[in-house]
Amino acid sequence: MSAVLNAFIRLRRRLSLLCNKLLTAAFGLDPWHAGTALDRLYPADIIAHLNKRTESERQSAVEIGCGLGDVISALNFKRKTGYDLDGTVLKAAAFKNIFSGHGRTCFLPLDFPKSFLDGKHDSIILVNWIHHLPPDILKSCVTKLYERHLNQDGEIILDTVSDPAYEYNHQIQAITEGLGCSVFQIGAYPRGRSIYALRKTAPQ
């Protein structure tokens, strides 16, 4: 059974990549939206991690910088919202979501960090773009999201990269200093990418 399931997961991943390539061409998006097999290893791990949470912890999920919505649309949460700066990308993501089979995901524009979220959420995802933010700005953004927009026992999912080709190589210790959160490494991937879950724990 596990072999069949693994084969199905691989097939679904390949179909998602093919869909991304077609949407990238059809909507005239930047080529990096099409992704590669290596780039797409970590979304499945994020999805599996968040979908294992209890039902009460899967009420609201948001993804900032959602791109084509590969992660947010596949989550088994009651409410799902993907935010991105690029309106054309959001149109492509909404189109793809129609055929995803994962239920409705709302896609909205957000010029982050100039603009911020509303309300509180169980999961806040920021992956594959925060290496463009200077360390002080990223630290401030994560702190604000954690303190004002994350439910108790909720998680912020983010990544760090050590490849010097990226603009900034953030350190998880610097990002989380003073937050009082618990940190769990979901996985490690090519180009020195690590995915972390920052869980909001009760003050001791």
pLDDT score for 203: 66
Q: Which amino acid makes up residue 15?
A: L
Identify the segments of the chain with pLDDT beneath 50.
Answer: 36-38
Tokens of 138: 């990223």
Which pTM value belongs to this model? Answer: 0.87
**Count of alpha carbons within 13 Å of 84, Cβ hemisphere only?**
23
pLDDT score for 60: 98
- What does the longest C-alpha to C-alpha distance in the chain come to? 52
CATH topology of domain 36-199: Rossmann fold (3.40.50)
What are the residue boundaries of the structural domains of the chain, listed by start?
Answer: 36-199
Please report which residue ranges of 30-171 form alpha helices under DSSP H: 41-51, 87-98, 135-149
pLDDT score for 115: 84
Q: Cβ distance 121 to 148 under 8 Å?
A: no
pLDDT in tens, 164-201: 999 999 999 999 999 999 999 999 999 999 999 999 98
Q: Give one word for 67, left, alpha or beta, with left for phi > 0 and alpha for psi -120 to 50.
A: left
- 72 vs 31, 85, 100, 184, CA distance in Å? 20, 16, 11, 20
Of 65, 67, 72, 58, give the one whose Cα is nearest residue 100. 72
pLDDT score for 204: 55
pLDDT score for 20: 73
